[in-house]
Structure 1
Amino acid sequence: MILTYCYRIKPNAKQEATMLHTLELLRRHWNYCLEQRLDWLRRTRCQIDRCSIIYEPIGEIPATVNYYTQQSDLKQTKVLFPEYKNIWSESQQVNLQRLNKAIERWLFPDKSGKRGGRPKFKKVDELRSFVYPRINCPKAGAHLNNGVLKLSKIGEMLVILHRPLPDGFTLKTCTIVRKADGWYCCISMEDETVPEHKPLDEVKTVIGIDVGLKEFLTTSEGETVPIQQIYRKTQSHLARQQRKLARSKKGSNRSNKQKNKIARIHQRIGRIRENFHYNTAHNLVKRYDLIAVEDLNIKGLARTRLSKSILDAAWGRFITILDAVAVKCGVRIVKVSPHGTSQNCSSCGAKVPKTLSIRLHECHKCGLAMDRDENAARNILERALNEVGLILSAHRGLGDTQPVKCEAFSGGDGVQLSLF
């Protein structure tokens, strides 16, 4: 299992200037190597028996340019530009590895046939991190001991360890990140143990959740979590600050300060949203052994008129966080197709067409009436249980009983609802 802990660091003025200069040199090297790769592609991708009638490079075909040739040129780079000697050599290699990974994502499709976009040249201040690939070993460039981080070519600085490093983990890499409110180090660590999912015969509590814009999520038991709308609440304040930036002179000190102020607003929005997602995920994982969610196409949904609200809710990020929290706790997350979950009746399976403005599900066949999100959550749970091969009994537990239709009955413990 691999974890990453992020801690704030406190460099002095000289160390901060050194790290800023390091980022700028790595940014220039990124742009130079990217141009090398693109120029080689332009000169070699034309077939010998046909050329473009509009534009074609003229000249000798250059030698192959890849990660290994560019890595071997690092020695020559330090000869021509001595200031690169002040950067840890492994950090420069990782910078080239990042570029090579971006090029491969662009040129070669993944298993699903999708490719990434073409890597872009980075403007000033767009490169915000550099990596020490080894930490706390004899030949490492970074050492963390007793709350003090020592970086090669930079020096020692204080680390605010707001939570201790977990026992049994081996420190792997150290990434220095520049954010709007200061500098951070992200420590990646690894443990040989791999969390295992709880066996199906031990699963006792299950839940299905349906995410939405009226409520952030609704469970198959009728519980709801209110939506935050963090960006919506901050939108007017953010717009005022952006208008103030537009009135300032580009490149001035006042403009740079205003840019940082806007970046802090965005950072605060992201942190509040992330904290809400983690709290919601932990509450669900602590209560249930199996959680059913929809496998949503967020990119497709973000092209609709509700794109701002959908991106503000960040359903995709929440499901990713929920999956990560569940893995550490051994809880199962089952993703099902979202097709028809809001339209089908969770009791009889009949299709009940409805628009987004209709918030009540009323089945014309069996007479079931409930909130449409709760009905969708029950359909999601049913699909997940069918996928893993479990049967939910009428008393909210798992057993060998046959599925029953959704009906209410009164008993000694109050009203009970079966989900089938």
Structure 2
Amino acid sequence: MILTYCYRILPNAAQIALMSNTLELLRRHWNYAFGQRLDALHRSRCQIDRCSIVSEPIGEIPQRVNYYTQQADLKQTKILFPDYKNIWAESQQINLQRLNQAWERWLIPDASGKRGGRPRFKKPGELRSFVYPRVNCPKAGANLKDGILKLSKIGEMPVILHRPLPEGFVLKTCTIVCKADGWYCCIAMQDNSVPQLLPLDEVKSAIGVDVGLKEFLTTSDGDTVAIPQIYRQTQHHLARQQRQLARQQKGSRRQAKKKNHIARIHQRIERQRKDFHHKTAHKLVKNFDLIAVEDLNIKGLAKTRLSKSILDAAWGAFINILEAVAVKRGVRVVKVNPHSTSQDCSGCGHKVPKSLSVRLHHCPKCGLLMDRDENAAVNILNRAISEVGLILPARGGFGVAPPVKREAFLEFDCSQLSGSRLEAPVIPQG
């Protein structure tokens, strides 16, 4: 298991100047290395006897450019530009590794055939972090001990350890990040012991979760969590600050101060949303052994007229946090296909078409009447149960006995579950 703890550091003015200069030099090196790769690609992407004199540059064909050739050029870079001697060598290598990863994501498709966007040249201030790949080991660039962080080429500075480092974890990397409200160090640590997922035979409680915009989420038990709309509550104040920024003189100190003020507003919105997601996720993981959610296409949903509300709710970030919290506790999170979860009846399976403005589900076939989000949550739970192979009581806990595997259902004594509401069993064929 790999965890990352983020702590605030308190460098002095001289150390802040050194770290800011390090970020600027790494930014310039990123742009040079990226330009070198683009030039080599443009000059060698087609056959030499078929180049277009209109769109292809003519000149000497460059040698192959990759991470290893650019890493080997670091020695020459330090000779031509002595300022790079003040940067830890491994930090420069990590900077090139980041560029190489972005480059490969652009040119090489993944397993699904999709590629990432083209890397970009970084403007001043866009590169905001650098990495020390080794911590608390021989020849390490970063050492953390007793609340003091010692960085090579920079010096020692106090760290606000708002929570202790977990015992048994080995510190792997230290990332220095410049944020709107100061400097932080992100310590990545690893432990070989990974919590095992709870066996299916020991699952005692399950819940289906349907996310939405009227309520942040609705469970299959009928419980709801109100949506905070953090950005909506702040957007008018943020708009006023941005209008004031537009009136500032470009390059002035007042403009820089106003930019930082706006960045702090965005940072506060992000932290409030993240805190809400963590608290909601911990509450679900604490009370249930299996959590069923929808596998939503957030990018597609964000292109609709409800994009601002969808991005404000940040369903994708919440599901990622929920999965991370669940892994640490051994709880299962099952993603299901979201197709027709709001249209299908959870009682009989009959499809009941309804628009988004209709908030009640009323099945004309079985007469079921309930909130449409709760109906969708029950459908999500039923699909997850079907995927993992469990037979569970419908929307009422597990009664006296825990759920059993689908294969063992025929040998299970149903009299143990007397008094509980059971769904119709799905008997395997053959």
Give me the TM-score of the superposition, normalised by structure 1: 0.95
CA distance in 1, matches of 2:289, 2:404: 18
C-alpha change, 1:53 and 1:330, in structure 2 (3 Å) is same
Quote the offset at 1:418 in angstroms. 5.7
Which residue is equivalent to 2:412?
A: none
Which residue is equivalent to 1:90?
A: 90
Q: Give the fraction of aligned pairs with identical amino acids, expressed as a percent.
A: 74
Residue type of the partner of 1:167?
Answer: E
CA distance in 1, matches of 2:189, 2:404: 43
2:313 maps to 1:309? no
Which residue is equivalent to 1:203?
A: 203
Which residue is equivalent to 1:103?
A: 103
Quote the offset at 1:300 in angstroms. 0.2
Which residue is equivalent to 1:360?
A: 360
Residue type of the partner of 1:396?
Answer: G
Residue type of the partner of 2:281?
Answer: A
Which residue is equivalent to 1:46?
A: 46
Q: Is the 8 A contact 1:393 1:401 kept in 2?
A: no
CA distance in 1, matches of 2:324, 2:179: 24
CA distance in 2, matches of 1:50, 1:385: 59
2:296 maps to 1:296? yes
Which residue is equivalent to 1:149?
A: 149
CA distance in 1, matches of 2:145, 2:49: 63
2:248 maps to 1:244? no
Quote the offset at 1:53 in angstroms. 5.5
Quote the offset at 1:401 in angstroms. 11
Quote the offset at 1:56 in angstroms. 1.2
CA distance in 2, matches of 1:154, 1:178: 15
CA distance in 1, matches of 2:421, 2:214: 24
Query: Tell me, what secondary structure is at the counterpart of 2:164?
Result: coil
Quote the offset at 1:81 in angstroms. 0.3
Residue type of the partner of 1:368?
Answer: L
C-alpha change, 1:55 and 1:274, in structure 2 (3 Å) is same
CA distance in 1, matches of 2:48, 2:180: 51
Matches within 5 A, 1:122-137: 122-137=122-137
Q: Is the 8 A contact 1:347 1:419 kept in 2?
A: no
C-alpha change, 1:401 and 1:86, in structure 2 (3 Å) is closer
Query: Tell me, what secondary structure is at the counterpart of 1:183?
Result: strand
- The alignment covers a number of residue pairs equal to 410
Quote the offset at 1:195 in angstroms. 1.5
2:185 maps to 1:185? yes
CA distance in 2, matches of 1:257, 1:297: 38
2:400 maps to 1:396? no
CA distance in 2, matches of 1:310, 1:48: 50
2:337 maps to 1:333? no
C-alpha change, 1:359 and 1:419, in structure 2 (3 Å) is farther
C-alpha change, 1:10 and 1:205, in structure 2 (3 Å) is same
Q: Is the 8 A contact 2:201 2:403 kept in 1?
A: no
Residue type of the partner of 1:186?
Answer: C
Residue type of the partner of 2:92?
Answer: Q
CA distance in 2, matches of 1:17, 1:326: 41
Quote the offset at 1:4 in angstroms. 0.2
CA distance in 1, matches of 2:421, 2:211: 22
Which residue is equivalent to 2:35?
A: 35
Quote the offset at 1:297 in angstroms. 0.2
Q: Is the 8 A contact 1:347 1:366 kept in 2?
A: yes
Unaligned runs of 5+ in 2: 410-417, 425-430
Quote the offset at 1:54 in angstroms. 2.7
Which residue is equivalent to 2:226?
A: 226
Give me the TM-score of the superposition, normalised by structure 2: 0.93
